[in-house]
């Protein structure tokens, strides 16, 4: 699925915890997109597209 800046998404951390946040920046690589997300708990995350749930 394609996401754009400002979209609200749910994503899974390596610990298995699920967070919610808004996409702030999208980095397009050769094989996948990397999303920079500000979460609702005021942390910023760098997440691969494979870890986004919805």
| Domain boundary assignment for the chain | 8-51
Q: Please, what's the b/e burial string for 7-36 (b: 16 or more CB within 10 A of its CB; e: otherwise)? A: eebebeeeeeeebebebeeeeeeeeeeebe
Which DSSP letter does residue 49 get? Answer: G
Amino acid 30: pLDDT: 86
Which of 30, 29, 10 has the alpha carbon at shortest distance from 19? Answer: 10
Could you count the other beta carbons within 10 Å of the beta carbon of residue 40? 10
* Tens-binned pLDDT, residue by residue, of the chain (54 aa): 789 999 999 999 999 999 999 999 999 988 899 999 999 888 999 999 999 998
- Both structure tokens of 24: 């702030």
Amino acid 29: pLDDT: 84
pTM of the predicted structure, to 2 decimals? 0.85
Amino acid 54: pLDDT: 87
Amino acid 41: pLDDT: 87
């Amino acid at each position: 699925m394609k996401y754009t800046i400002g979209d609200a998404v749910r994503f899974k951390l390596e610990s298995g915890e699920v967070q919610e946040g808004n996409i702030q920046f999208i980095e397009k690589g050769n094989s996948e997109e990397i999303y920079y997300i500000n979460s609702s708990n005021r942390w910023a995350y760098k997440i691969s597209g494979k870890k986004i749930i919805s």
